[in-house]
Structure 1
Amino acid sequence: MDRTKSAFEFAYLAKIHSFSMLPSSIHTLSPTVSMAMVTELLADLGLDPSWVDKAIDRAGIAPELLQEAGARISVEQFSRIYRQLVALLDDETPGFFSRPLRQGTLKFLCLGMYGAPSLEIALHRFRSYFRLLLDDMGFEVTINGALTRIALIEHVPPRRSRVLVHEIMLKLVHGVASWMIDRKIALARVDFAYPRPQRAADYVYLFPGPVQFDQAQTALYVDSEYLQSPMRQDMKALGTFLRNAPADWLFVSFSEKMQTHRVRDYLEAQLAHKPTLESTASALHFSERSLSRRLADEGTTFQAIKDELRRDMAIQKLLKTRMPITAVAAAIGIDNLSVFNRAFKLWTGSTPGTYRRLGAGRKSRDAGG
């Protein structure tokens, strides 16, 4: 197939335009996504540049942001551009492997898991399904007492960014399994068969659990008790799950939260009041030392969580509201505009005003702000 024929590409964009604008099921402020995930998703596909410009515009991403090393986008924006690539290429893993996974692959995967008496049997079907479809990569499920290991088996190197392919395929099995039993599966440990990437700070939300890099294989470890969980989703829920893909399996919210998530949830309602480590620890019934130690065990700090939340909230308000920049700063607990400008440039590489002009997308730019 010649993927440089713009008429064909724009026809696909027209086909999925209304679908890509469907609201996500994510209702709370979700972490933002590194622009590196988008650039890796689009790289080396041989697409007509005019299609790329059109696609990122329809996802609400300004082309200029692709050049900003620290740029961030919303989960919804990433999901929109991912879905556009899926529709254009007729490949639910856009260019990852030597054989495309045609549209409908995820649907039939989930249908094949329906009726399984337990997650253990469903995962056996999951593994068998991909063994039939993919030559390049497979899954291995090993039960070893209290822990079960689910590993990616790489038969040949991916055709795209290895980091991105491993991230998405590992999240696929985790997200689908969590969704099928209607219970977010806590991760006891996650291994990655590559060096620590620049966006590793995001893994506390993508892969909430102890993470190790430079391992022999990419794998996740979960409590074996999850394997006895029954399937709980029905056909009506499947439609919503598929419409929101990849958001609902790639960026899942967790009921079994890490302490990092509890701190972030608390701070989200308190940023304007300038919460401190002391006040947050007290509200969550910890001493400062105990909370700091728990966060350190999860690979982060109170200040890092607070700064990441400030960054994400500021980006959301700049792109989705007409709030004056001074009001945005106040909403995240920064009274001085100069301080906010310096902090935001450190976070994203741009000043708040520039980021709003570049990243608001066509609708927001027409609305002003």
Structure 2
Amino acid sequence: MPTKSSAITVPMRAALGLIGPATARGIAPDELLSRASIDRGLLDVPRARLSLKQFSRLFAAIVNALEDEALGLHSEPTRPGSVEMLCRTGVTTSTFADCAQVIARGCNAVLRGFKVDCIAEDGELQITLRERGGDPEKGLLAYEVPLLTIYAIMSWLVGRRLPLVCADFPCPPPRHRFELRSLLAGTIRFNQPHAALRFTEQANSLHIVRNAEEIPRFIRRAPASFIDTLLVRDSLASEVRRVLQQALPSLLSLPQVAERLAVSPRTLHRKLEAGGASFQRIKDDLRRDMALHLLTRGTTPLKQIATHLGFSDPSTFQRAFAQWTGLSPGEYRRRTQPRTAEKGHEGGVC
């Protein structure tokens, strides 16, 4: 049974967060859902998840409808082409330290609701976002989108997820802290005076490895390419996920995975914990995402999917799937079967 390392899913929370502001600006949600091949009934399933392709199409549909790469989250739009401009500015530099300076200046031109600064202090670099005017932006998503976009762009430019001292958000902590932490290689702090990314000193000497010819594909696949940069590449958790996936239907234990990665079980456990991950969570997320991937991409019998994912019998798989999503595998498949309109352009920009 073929599988893909890119079979990563996105929580419905993220889709609802994008649809809400777009709807408030007069965009019909049914049209957005249709273009992304998302069944409207899934919006009422709190634990439902989307494929990266569905999420990217939803993202692109909102950007195109609003002509705003900030998705209607701010008082002033970020015009289409802004993210590409930041990428093209970044590839003209040679080191991360220089790149951070030009990216910050470029953000001032496109993120009109923020004053963006790049500050060097005690060997570290900070990119700070402060609201222009007296009223701060409301809601975590208003900070999450620009910070993750900046972080993904710069990580892509240097060819690895950049190490962070911390990421600051001027709002209360959300319930999805674990998922946010998996995207950011550092401590996350909430209720801070302003939004910021603080990079470790060793990041300064990293070199820019991308070129202008690579930018169109990176932009075309966004935000899937952004998530791929932050979640899949150069991450111990992603290496553990890869080893577990390659071994399916066998379910490896932590010591077995540690042996294949040439580290001790204690070291693997400690490093995963330091990165905000756990072995059991990675295993559960892999099986969940592979189940969703296989259910929505074909007609593989449920029994075969259960066997492939290492479940002892179909009923055990069905109970686990219901815990993950709130639906049975059969019902989820019925609600997410690809539509003929799904064929076509894959990506979007953010």
Shorter-chain TM range is 0.7 to 0.9
Q: 1:157 aligns to what?
A: 136
Q: Report the Cα distance in structure 1 between the residues aligned to 2:26 and 2:83, rounded to whole angstroms.
A: 29
Instruction: State the alpha-carbon separation in 2 of the partners of residues 364 and 268 from structure 1.
Output: 31
Q: 1:137: which partner in 2? A: 114
Higher RCO structure (Cα 8 Å, ≥6 apart): 2
Give 1:194's aligned residue. 171
Q: Which has the higher mean CA deviation after the structures are superposed, 213-222 or 77-86? A: 213-222
Equivalent position amino acid for 1:62 in 2: D
Partner of 2:70: 93
- Say which of 308, 320, 327 aligns to 2:297: 320
Amino acid at match of 1:81: L
Aligned counterpart, 1:45: 22
Structural RMSD (CA): 2.6
Select the residue among 83, 90, 95 that pairs with 2:60.
Answer: 83
- 1:42-70 Cα offsets, whole Å, 9 max, x none, are 10434699942232122121111111100
2:220 aligned with 1:243? yes
Report the Cα offset of residue 259 of structure 1: 2.9
Corresponding residue of 2:156: 179
- 2:347 corresponds in structure 1 to none
* Compared CA separation, residues 306 and 113, structure 1 to 2 (3 A): closer
- Structure 1 residue identity aligned to 2:155: S
Q: Residue deviations 1:173-200, cap 9 Å, x none? A: 1111122333432334333333332222
User: Could you tell me the TM-score, scaled by structure 1's length?
Assistant: 0.82
Query: Which residue in the other structure is 2:314 paired with?
Result: 337
TM-score (norm 2): 0.86
SS in 1 for 2:104: helix
Residues 1:135 and 1:253: Cα distance change in structure 2 (over 3 Å) = closer
How far has the Cα of 1:250 moved from its partner? 4.1
- Write the mapping of 1:1-369 to structure 2, written as runs, cut at 5 A: 28-46=5-23, 51-155=28-132, 156-158=135-137, 162-253=139-230, 257-363=234-340
Q: Report how many residues are paired.
A: 337
> Which secondary structure state, in structure 2, belongs to the residue aligned with residue 346 of structure 1?
helix
- Paired residue for 2:348? none
Residue in 1 that maps onto 2:345: none
Cα 1:259–1:240 change in 2 (3 A) is closer
How much does 1:152 deviate? 2.5
Structure 1, unmatched stretches of 5+, are 1-26
Give deviations 1:300-334, integer Å, cap 9, x for gaps: 32111111111111110111121111111111111
Change (3 A) 1:147 1:295: same
What is the Cα deviation at residue 256 of structure 1? 6.7
| Aligned mates of 1:303, 1:296 — CA distance in 2 | 11
- Paired residues of 1:56 and 1:63 also in contact (CA < 8 A): yes
Tell me: CA distance 1:204–1:251, structure 2 relative to 1, closer, same or farther (3 Å).
farther
**Which whole-Å CA distance do the structure 2 matches of 1:230 and 1:32 have between them?**
31
Give the direction of change, closer, same or farther, for the CA distance of 1:70–1:225 in structure 2 (3 Å limit): same
Structure 2 unaligned runs (5+)? Answer: 343-350
Distance change >3 Å, CA 55–CA 211, structure 1 → 2: same
Structure 1 residues 138 and 33, CA gap change in structure 2 (3 angstroms) = farther
Quick one: distance in 2 between partners of 1:318 and 1:256? 25
Looking at structure 1, the residues matched to 219 and 283 of structure 2 have their Cα atoms a distance apart, in angstroms, of: 33
Task: Using the TM superposition, give the Cα deviation of residue 236 of structure 1 relative to its aligned residue in structure 2, in angstroms.
Answer: 1.9
One-letter identity of the residue aligned with 2:162:
I
Do the aligned residues in 2 keep the contact of 1:143 with 1:224 (CA within 8 Å)? no
The code of the aligned residue for 2:72 comes to G
* Structure 1 pair 249–259 and aligned structure 2 pair: CA distance change class (3 A): closer
Q: Secondary structure of the residue that 1:45 maps to in structure 2?
A: helix
Say if 1:178 and 1:185, in contact at 8 Å, map to a contact too. yes
Aligned equivalents of 2:187, 2:154: Cα separation in 1: 19
1:224-252: CA deviations, max 9, x gaps? 34334444433321221221222223441
Given residue 92 of structure 1, which amino acid in structure 2 is its aligned partner? E
C-alpha distance in 2 between matches for 1:255 and 1:97: 29
Quote how far apart the aligned CAs of 1:141 are. Answer: 2.1
Matching residue's letter, 1:220: L
Q: Secondary structure at the match of 2:140?
A: helix
Matched residue type, 1:338: S
Equivalent pair of 2:184/2:230 in contact (CA under 8 Å):
no
Same amino acid, percent of matched pairs: 29
Structure 1 CA distance for aligned equivalents of residues 264 and 86 of structure 2: 46
Relative to structure 1, the CA distance from residue 65 to residue 132 in structure 2 (aligned partners, 3 Å threshold; closer, same or farther) is same
In structure 2, do the counterparts of structure 1 residues 187 and 75 end up closer, same or farther at CA, with 3 Å as the change threshold?
Answer: farther
Matched residue type, 1:37 = A
**Counterpart Cα distance in 2 of 1:269 and 1:324:** 21
State the Cα distance separating 1:140 from its structure 2 match: 2.7
